[in-house]
Amino acid sequence: MSNPFENQFNSECQQCGDEVEEGELMFAIDGQFVCDVCAESGDNVCACGNFKKSEYPTCYECYKR
């Protein structure tokens, strides 16, 4: 599964509880499925939009460039 991924059905963020509609992006982080807002606030979104670990400044793809 890529990270982020398109939500396949309406669900809710396991961090904030907000509804995430089908087709919106979600992130799998530490065993939870979270919305893009929570992923960004946790410093888990690279400037390119891909997932990154919070302890690193960029995602792996951007780091390789």
Per-residue confidence in pLDDT tens, the chain, 65 aa = 689 999 999 999 999 999 999 999 999 999 999 999 999 999 999 999 999 999 999 999 999 98
User: Roughly how many angstroms between the first and final C-alpha of the chain, as a whole number?
Assistant: 22
Q: Write down the pTM of the prediction.
A: 0.87
What pLDDT sits at residue 9? 95
What pLDDT sits at residue 34? 97
What pLDDT sits at residue 55? 96
What pLDDT sits at residue 1? 60
What pLDDT sits at residue 57? 97
**CA-CA distance, 50 to 62, in Å (whole number)?**
9
**CA-CA distance, 26 to 6, in Å (whole number)?**
6
**CA-CA distance, 17 to 34, in Å (whole number)?**
9
Residues 6+ apart with CB under 8 A from 4: 25, 26, 27, 36, 39, 49, 50, 51
